[in-house]
Amino acid sequence: MKLATPYLLFIGDAHDQLAAKTAAGIAYWRPEQCVGQLRLPGCNADLGLPDLSVRQAADKGARTLVIGVANRGGVISPAWIPTLLEALEAGMDLASGLHRRLCDVADLARAAERLGRRLIDVRHPTREFEVANGKPRSGERLLTVGTDCSLGKMYTSLAIEREMRRRGRKADFRATGQTGIFIAGEGVSIDAVVADFISGAVEWLAPANDPDHWDLIEGQGSLFHPSYAGVSLGLLHGAQPTALVMCHEPNRPHMRGLPHYKVPGLRECIDANLEAARLTSPEVRLVGISLNTSALDPSAAESVLRQTEDTFGVPAVDPVRGGVGPIVDRL
Amino acid sequence: MKLATPYLLFIGDAHDQLAAKTAAGIAYWRPEQCVGQLRLPGCNADLGLPDLSVRQAADKGARTLVIGVANRGGVISPAWIPTLLEALEAGMDLASGLHRRLCDVADLARAAERLGRRLIDVRHPTREFEVANGKPRSGERLLTVGTDCSLGKMYTSLAIEREMRRRGRKADFRATGQTGIFIAGEGVSIDAVVADFISGAVEWLAPANDPDHWDLIEGQGSLFHPSYAGVSLGLLHGAQPTALVMCHEPNRPHMRGLPHYKVPGLRECIDANLEAARLTSPEVRLVGISLNTSALDPSAAESVLRQTEDTFGVPAVDPVRGGVGPIVDRL
């Protein structure tokens, strides 16, 4: 399942910028793969890309319309259907990261069938995986792990890929979530895999490679998140990482979605991840800490970064403020 | 999804006793729910139950034919179909723990539809679960955990249920695997749940209960099994256990299916499970160790049990040899 590029980013009637987060991530990391955006009346988001009709996008070569908007319930709005049908007619595939499947919308399924287009629901794995075998494999793999969900694991992985490639290194981002899959053009939505195959799916996603090649694997969740830790552990074991980057947001009051759970301490979380990772990767090491300091002013951010470096003896960066150069120096 | 009892245990053309392991487990733990066994020509297994035809079983009140035989690939053999159709005609549901689904066999699906019978594939969850919320809930819960797969977690949980009920305590076995589900008549095949919902499914399976009620939750896998640890961790968090029993087989040479992985030490495995369990159940404690000593002679078994008790300060039992009384004393 490789998505055809370039994309037309559909953000429909997104009621604010946050609802278009997926599209914004794609536009930020892969501007060269986006011909433009398509907005419907009532849309309050803007990706800073040219506004195109389906016809204009097709003329510019768009091969996939990506639904890059989230809404309550993850449903495909009836208001979107005429545009989606038009895109199919114009020669594009449709791709979505929503909970509801494109192929469950009868009109879309029929049109795609008739026209020979693909309906790609990246949240729903379409292939079967093997159970993980845990066998050592060649190549280097870096996994971003975290104290919680949604604090920059994907961003950090992509920033490391960009910096390594800039330096002429062999590096590939490996996507484990919906936005990441659109950005990479392929990947596995790891939290949607059947539980038995979590680690096996990651072994498939990041297979043996050249000794000097780095897979930069997008982490998910946290070993300390009571809802998702199983996913995080299976991902950690399957990744067989040689390097970990711990992602954290200082001052976050509690675990995402769970006001009754505190965010774990950095030390505790680093130790737990290294210990668990050693099962399949005995030589694993921590190579850096990525802090999301968006809630801090520049001097407070600088101070917490320096303090974190002093405490843990590895580079601490905010990839948005200062890039990830010091971490890449360690690889 | 509650299975209708009593069962007719179908072991088809099982080529040896091991192939009928599922049926044997049901017959051992729930003899009162089994009217008899049905064997086809070539069957080399025997459950020690009366041999019945479909008609005889129906006359004795059988309400579900359980396919209690395993084979390579987990397929439904064409040789079984006439018997399965006969059972549907005679008023029974069909239940299977095989990988391939009953409902994908067109003849069975049509007959079940026509007759209003159920085709129950216990390996495949039929309901959707919520993401776990990790909120403290009332009632006591004991989870069996292990150093590896397949060393007696289900057996230990069921033995504790039996002993507690014998003593007049409120206790329910909660099944997380196929054989366990047939025995309990309900449950969730936890390794078949979508990864995001592992813990949530366990919260659903073992909900809040009376303060003096014990749920005895069947563990799966091991935190140290590179293929399945994600399932084990999600199960541990969702179970919110107040008590753990560690299951282990002394002298097992390596992790099941993985010759390149050693079995972890008991101490290491107990510490890792307690530490992980504290996330959702801060007061969790180890209440016993269950050793599978089937490979040892009686005096060697006795010696390793005493030694284990001395080392860990909790009762160590082999439930097959001596029951689980000393563990139940601690609950």
Q: pLDDT band for position B127 (50/70/90)?
A: confident
Q: Assess whether A279 and A232 both reside in one domain.
A: yes
* Residue-by-residue DSSP string for A135-192: ---SSEEEEEEESSSSSSHHHHHHHHHHHHHHTT-EEEEE--SHHHHHHHS----GGG
Q: What is the pLDDT of residue A214?
A: 98
Do A95 and A188 lie in one domain? The reply is no
Helix A229-239 and helix B229-239, axial crossing angle in degrees, nearest 10: 160
Q: Is A199 within 8 Å of chain B by CB?
A: yes
In a domain, A163, yes or no: yes
The pTM assigned to this predicted structure is 0.95
Query: How many whole angstroms separate alpha carbon A71 and alpha carbon A77?
Result: 9
Sign of CA dihedral B256, B262, B266, B268: negative
Q: Copy the structure tokens of residue A193.
A: 């895999």
Q: What percent of chain B shows pLDDT beyond 70? A: 100
Reported as type and span, the H/E element at residue B173 is: strand B170-174
Shortest distance, CA B141 to any CA of chain A (angstroms):
17
A229 with B279: Cβ contact below 8 A: yes
Domain of residue A247 covers 140-328
Q: Are residues A104 and A231 in the same domain?
A: no
CA distance to A8, A91, A116, B257, per residue, from A112 (Å): 17, 10, 6, 43
Strand order in the sheet with A119-121: A34-39, A7-12, A64-67, A93-96, A119-121
pLDDT tens track for A12-54: 999 999 999 999 999 999 999 999 999 999 999 999 999 999 9
Q: What is the pLDDT of residue A235?
A: 98
B163 and B262 housed in the same domain? yes
Beta bridge partners of A252: none
B326 and chain A in contact, CB less than 8 A: no
B196 touches chain A (CB under 8 A): yes
pLDDT at B237 > cutoff 90: yes
**pLDDT digit string, tens, across residues B141-161:** 999 999 999 999 999 999 999
The answer to whether A72 faces chain B, any CB pair under 8 Å, is no
Q: What is the pLDDT of residue B110?
A: 98
Q: Which two tokens stand for residue B173?
A: 């076995």
Give B44 to chain A, closest Cα distance, Å. Answer: 30
Average pLDDT over all residues of chain B: 96
The residue among A207, A227, A275 whose CA lies nearest residue B224 is A275
Q: Mean pLDDT, to the nearest integer, of A104-109? A: 97
Residues B70 and B155 in one domain: no
Residues B193 and B281 in one domain: yes
ipTM: 0.94
Is A153 part of any domain?
yes
- Across the interface, do A194 and B195 touch by the CB < 8 Å criterion? yes
Contact A253, A152 (CB under 8 A): no
Kind of pairing, strands A213-217 and A140-146?
Answer: parallel
Number of domains in chain B: 2
- Is A229's CB within 8 Å of B235's CB? no
Q: A318-325: long-range contacts at Cβ-Cβ below 8 A with a sequence spacing of 24 or more? A: A318/A290, A318/A291, A318/A292, A318/A293, A319/A152, A319/A155, A319/A156, A319/A159, A319/A290, A320/A152, A320/A155, A320/A292, A320/A294, A321/A293, A323/A159, A323/A163, A324/A156, A324/A159, A324/A160, A324/A163, A324/A288, A324/A290, A325/A163
Domain match, B81 and B209 both: no
Mutate to test the interface with A, among B176, B227, B237 (most CBs of A within 10 A): B227
Which residue has better confidence, B168 or A73? B168
For residue A89, the tally of other CB atoms under 10 A from its CB is 15
Residue B283 lies in a domain: yes
Q: Are residues B167 and B77 in the same domain?
A: no
Of B131, B224, B226, nearest to A227 by CB-CB distance is B131
Using the predicted structure, report yes or no on whether residue B125 has a pLDDT greater than 90. Answer: no
CATH number at residue B88: 3.40.50.720
- Interface with B, mutate which of A178, A188, A228, A271 (most B CBs under 10 A): A228
Within a domain: residue A65?
yes
CATH code where residue A186 lies: 3.40.50.300
In a domain, B126, yes or no: no
Distance between alpha carbon B108 and the CA centroid of its chain, in Å?
26
The β-bridge partners of B216 are: B142, B173
Chain A residue with the nearest C-alpha to that of B236:
A230
* pLDDT attached to residue A35: 98
Q: Check if B260 contacts A (Cβ < 8 Å).
A: yes
Q: Would you tell me which residues 288-307 of chain B have a C-beta closer than 8 angstroms to some C-beta of chain A?
A: none
The verdict on A106 and A175 lying in the same domain is: no
Q: Which residues of chain A neighbour B226 with C-beta distances below 8 Å?
A: 132-134, 199, 237, 279-280
The CA distance from A26 to the nearest CA of chain B, in Å, is 24
Selecting from A191, A196, A226 the residue whose C-beta is nearest the C-beta of B191 gives A196
Any domain includes B16: yes
Note the pLDDT of residue B73: 80
Peptide bond connecting A6 to the previous residue in cis, omega within 30 degrees of 0: yes
Q: Is the domain of B117 the same as that of B144?
A: no
State whether B109 and B183 are in the same domain.
no
Dump pLDDT digits (tens) for A160-212.
999 999 999 999 999 999 999 999 999 999 999 999 999 999 999 999 999 99
Residues 6+ apart with CB under 8 A from A228: A149, A191, A220, A221, A222, B131, B196, B199
Q: Chain-wide mean pLDDT for chain A?
A: 96
Q: Which residue of A has its CA nearest to B225?
A: A279
Residue B84 lies in a domain: yes
- A285 lies in the same domain as A160: yes
Q: Where are the beta strands (DSSP E) in A231-325?
A: 243-248, 285-291, 316-317
In the listed set B57, B88, B121, which residue is the last one of a domain according to the structure?
B121
